[in-house]
Amino acid sequence: MTENWTAFVRGHRRTGSDVQFIERTRQDAQQSMGKELQKLILTAPTSQQDLARTELAGFEQLFGRYLQETGPSVLWDKIKLLPEGGHLNRTHGTDVPLVLMNSFNTDEDTLKVLQRYGKLQLQIHTFNQSRYPRINRESLLPIGNSFTSDNTESWYPPGHGDVYQSLVNSGLLKQFLDSGKKYVFISNIDNLGATVDLNILNFLMEQEQPPEFVMEVTDKTRADVKGGTLVEYEGKLRLLEIAQVPKEHVDEFKSVSKFKIFNTNNLWISLDAIKRVTDDQSLHMEIIVNPKTLDNGVNVIQLETAVGAAIKSFEGAMGINVPRRRFLPVKTTSDLLIVMSNLYSLHTGALQMNPKRSFPQGPLVKLGSHFSKVKDYLSRFSSIPDMLELDHLTVSGDVTFGKNVSLKGTVIIIANHGDRIDIPAGALLENKIVSGNLRILDH
C-alpha cells in the first residue's frame, strides 16, 4: 500500500477524496516512523540517548519533508542564467583551525592519521555528522532495531548538507563564535585545490554588508557536465543539481554553452548566519533520495542533503568565478596519477601546476579496473611517468609501467583479456596506441 501511495502522490491527478486519503496516509507514515524512532532511542546507552534524540529529531523533520514534498523542486521556466562577470598560520601569525567532519565510518581512521601530526602548531578539531536510519523502501520504516554501533548497515551519514546542524550539535559553532571567528571555509576533503584564498577573504571583509554565503564556481568543461550550477530562481541564487532537472531538459542542463559554470563546493559562510538559520529552523535544502540495495537484498532509501543547496537560505549570497586550479578533486586513481606526476608540485601547502605545462588544464586520464584499488595502482608503476606534455591517457587491462617512462600527446594502451603489457623503462610514448601482448622480461 505504501509503495503505491508514493507513486500515486507524485503523479496522479487528485480529487478531494484523493487529497484526504493522501494526507491520512502521510500522517500514518509519519506517526509510525515517530514510534519506531522512540524505540531506537531507548536502545542507545543512557549516556548517548540525548545525542540520539537530537540527531533523530533532524531525521524525523527530513522524513516529514520527504513525505510532504512532491513533484520537481524547480519549474524550468523560472530559471534564469546569471550575468557574465567577473602555510597560513605561520606566514600571517594567525590561528586558523583545521576542522574535519567525519561519519561513524571514518572517525576512527581519521583519528589514527591525526596522531602523526600531534606536534604541529595547529588546532585540529574533528566532529561526527549525524547518524540516520536507513528506510525500508516498501514499509517506509527504519530497517534497524538497535542504536548500537555494531549494527552499522542499518545506518548512514546523511550527506554533507548535515554540516550545519552537526557543527551546532558538536559545540564547535559556539566555540568558534565565542573566540571571535567570523567565517568558515568549507570544502570537500578530496579537493586538493581548496585552500584559504586571502583575496576572497579580503573581499568579504571589505564589504559594507558582507555576504553571508559565497560559493566558488569555475568554468565548466565537458568533464563537468553533471556538476551543479548556480542559477537565479524567484529572485534568489539557487544551486541547480542534475537530479532536480526535468528529464526533458537534462541535455540542456549539460550544455557547456548555456550553463557555463559549475559548483566547486568551496564555500565561505558566516558563522553568525549559520547560528541564525539553525536556531530559527529556516535552513532549507532539497532532499536527495539515494536508493540502495543491501547485501541481503533489502531495498532501502537514504534521505540526504547537499551543503551548497542551502545558498538560498542566506542573505546576500553570491558566486565567485575562480580559476580551475581551485578545483582539483582526487576521487579515483586516475585523479591520483595526475597529482602525483610532474604536472603538479607542492608550494606552501598548495598544489601548483608546473609552469612548463603548455596548457592550463590537466590531461584526461582513464585507468581501467586493474588500477582501481590504490594498492594495485601503486604496484603497477615503478615510477610515475613524465606527463608534462600529455593530453589524453587511456589504460585498460593488465598493464605495468617501468621507470622513467614519458607519455606525450594521446596515448592509448589496451591489453586484451589474458594478455599483459609491460611498458619498458625509459620508454617514450607519443601519440601511440599500444595493444595486444607486449611483455618485457628482465635478464
pLDDT for 18: 62
Per-residue CA distances from 268 to 175, 185, 241, 314 (Å): 18, 5, 19, 12
* Burial degree of 68 (CB within 10 A; 0-12, 13-18, 19+): exposed
pLDDT for 441: 42
Cα 301 to Cα 401: distance, rounded to the nearest angstrom: 42
Residue type, 332: T
**What is the side-by-side order of every strand in the sheet holding 288-293?**
135-136, 299-304, 288-293
Cα 81 to Cα 321: distance, rounded to the nearest angstrom: 14
Residues catalogued as catalytic? 331
Instruction: Look up residue 443 and give its three cell numbers.
Output: 635478464
Q: With bands split at pLDDT 50, 70 and 90, how would you rate the model's confidence at 243? A: confident
- Inform me whether the pLDDT recorded for 6 exceeds 50: no
Instruction: Look up residue 155 and give its three cell numbers.
Output: 545506518
pLDDT for 57: 92
Cα 140 to Cα 153: distance, rounded to the nearest angstrom: 17
- Inform me whether the pLDDT recorded for 319 exceeds 70: yes
Q: With bands split at pLDDT 50, 70 and 90, how would you rate the model's confidence at 149? A: low
197-230, pLDDT tens digit by residue?
989 999 998 988 999 999 999 998 877 888 889 8
43-73, pLDDT tens digit by residue?
988 988 998 899 899 999 999 999 887 666 6
Apex 149 CA angle, 145 and 153, nearest 5: 65
Residue type, 345: S
Residue type, 440: I
Cα 418 to Cα 397: distance, rounded to the nearest angstrom: 9
Choice among 61-75, 129-143, 320-334 with the minimum mean pLDDT: 61-75
List binding-site positions for substrate. 160
Per-residue CA distances from 307 to 77, 179, 293 (Å): 25, 24, 25
Burial of 240-265, coded b for 16+ CB within 10 Å and e otherwise, reads: bbeebbeeeeeeebbeeeebbbbbbb
What are the DSSP E strand ranges found in 284-397? 288-293, 299-304, 318-321, 344-347, 350-353, 364-367, 386-396
Rounded to the nearest integer, the mean pLDDT of the chain is: 87
161-181, pLDDT tens digit by residue?
999 999 999 999 999 999 999
Choice among 246-250, 358-362, 408-412 with the minimum mean pLDDT: 358-362
